[in-house]
């Protein structure tokens, strides 16, 4: 049984979205159970509407809810040890839950996760890994906003962790991994990126298949299973893609309603447009994973609806069921064991 802890107060709509989202996830995964944290007066009336979910859940009252506009330092001071966000993460640390899911403030969630769970051995900074829709299916992109700026060693760590996530989520033996760059040629790009490419090639890891450099248009093509970059670039790419999807949807909506002939054409091609809408629906790929922590924490988009939050729970369920944390630990141990032995006695 997978146990999932939920921050009911996180996101733009709090329990009004989180609880119905959990109910949808329970329908898809009847074996899961939930540990819920939130303000009782706001959560209890909504939870009462979902008896099946209430039966599979344990609720804990928390007076404090972290605001979406709070600075991470402020959220830590005010909400450490007592907020719904902290308690959801702490449940993972205490082994009361296998994964925590929150739609709350990203900076606060990152700070609390770091403070509560700590990073794995040899990991300096965690990464936020998102699922990216492609022409071939889905890929993983990291970092999409947790770590601004990264050196070559950190990018290598991201590649190892992203590969482990791809194995857990997509069940691929040796996922293809690429480094996002301004060109595919080895001489192009920042020194950190070029050095990271050299480190990954020389590491000779059995758990990933290093493709080389990829460019921005490779994200949508699905050229590789895992795209590695630092958080500033990854977040810009993510927000650009989301904005472009909304822009295309608006263009189509306007074009289809402009004339009577266009409306007729839409009716004739409605099935095709419905498939396109479903493919471009950002709710289907909601749920980013903090990698490199001693526990699994999922960040849902703050403005999502119940269907989107259920998708974030789905990601957490898959990560816990497939042993994400253990896979990352094993892959990191393999790399550092090889690195230590190849460095020789002088490094020791």
Mean pLDDT of the chain: 87
pLDDT surpasses 60 at 24: yes
Q: How far apart (Å, rounded) are the C-alpha atoms in residues 329 and 251?
A: 46
Looking at the predicted structure, is the pLDDT value of residue 266 above 70?
A: no
User: 1-22: per-residue pLDDT in tens?
Assistant: 899 999 999 999 999 999 999 9
What's the pLDDT tens digit per position in 236-250? 888 888 787 778 777
Q: Which two tokens stand for residue 209?
A: 């298949």
Task: Assess contact for 142 and 223: CB atoms under 8 A.
Answer: no
How far is residue 179 from each of residues 128, 240, 342, measured CA to CA in Å? 16, 19, 24
Q: How does residue 252 score in pLDDT terms, banded at 50, 70 and 90?
A: confident
Q: Which residue has the higher pLDDT, 183 or 278?
A: 183
Q: Is the pLDDT of residue 348 over 50?
A: no
On the question of pLDDT at 255 being above 80, the answer is: no
pTM of structure: 0.85
- What are the CA-CA distances from residue 235 to residues 199, 239, 297 (Å)? 24, 6, 18
The confidence score (pLDDT) of residue 339 equals 66
Strand pairing partners for 131?
A: 140
- Please tell me the predicted confidence (pLDDT) of residue 273: 61
Residue 347 is predicted with a pLDDT of 46
Q: Mean pLDDT check: name the lowest of 32-36, 135-139, 277-281, 343-347.
A: 343-347
């Amino acid at each position: 049984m997978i146990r999932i802890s939920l921050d009911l107060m996180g996101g733009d709509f709090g329990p009004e979205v989180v609880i119905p989202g959990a109910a949808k996830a329970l329908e898809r995964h009847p074996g899961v159970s939930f540990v819920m944290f939130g303000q009782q007066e706001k959560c209890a009336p909504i939870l009462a509407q979902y008896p099946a979910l209430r039966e599979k859940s344990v609720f804990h009252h928390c007076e404090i809810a972290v605001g979406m506009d709070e600075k991470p330092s402020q959220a830590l001071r005010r909400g450490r040890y007592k907020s719904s966000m902290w308690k959801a993460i702490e449940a993972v640390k205490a082994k009361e839950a296998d994964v925590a899911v929150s739609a709350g403030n990203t900076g606060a969630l990152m700070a609390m996760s770091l403070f509560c769970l700590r990073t794995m051995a040899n990991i300096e900074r965690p990464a936020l890994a998102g699922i990216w829709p492609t022409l071939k299916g889905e890929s993983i992109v990291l970092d999409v906003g947790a770590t601004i700026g990264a050196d070559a060693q950190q990018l290598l760590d991201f590649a190892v962790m992203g590969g482990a996530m791809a194995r857990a989520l997509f069940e691929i033996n040796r996922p293809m991994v690429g480094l996002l760059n301004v060109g595919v040629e080895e001489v192009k790009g920042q020194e950190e990126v070029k050095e990271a490419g050299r480190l990954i090639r020389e590491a000779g890891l059995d758990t990933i298949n290093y493709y080389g450099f990829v460019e921005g248009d490779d994200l949508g093509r699905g050229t590789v299973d895992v795209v590695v970059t630092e958080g500033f670039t990854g977040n810009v790419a993510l927000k650009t893609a989301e904005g472009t999807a909304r822009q295309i949807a608006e263009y189509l909506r306007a074009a289809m309603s402009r004339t009577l002939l266009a409306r007729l054409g839409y009716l004739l091609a409605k099935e095709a447009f419905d498939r396109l809408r479903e493919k471009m629906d950002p709710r289907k790929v909601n749920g980013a994973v903090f990698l490199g922590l001693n526990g699994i924490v999922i960040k849902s988009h703050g403005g999502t609806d119940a269907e989107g939050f259920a998708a974030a729970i789905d990601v957490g369920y898959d990560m816990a069921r497939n042993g994400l944390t253990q896979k990352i630990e094993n892959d990191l141990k393999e790399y550092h064991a090889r690195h230590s032995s190849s460095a020789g006695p002088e490094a020791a």
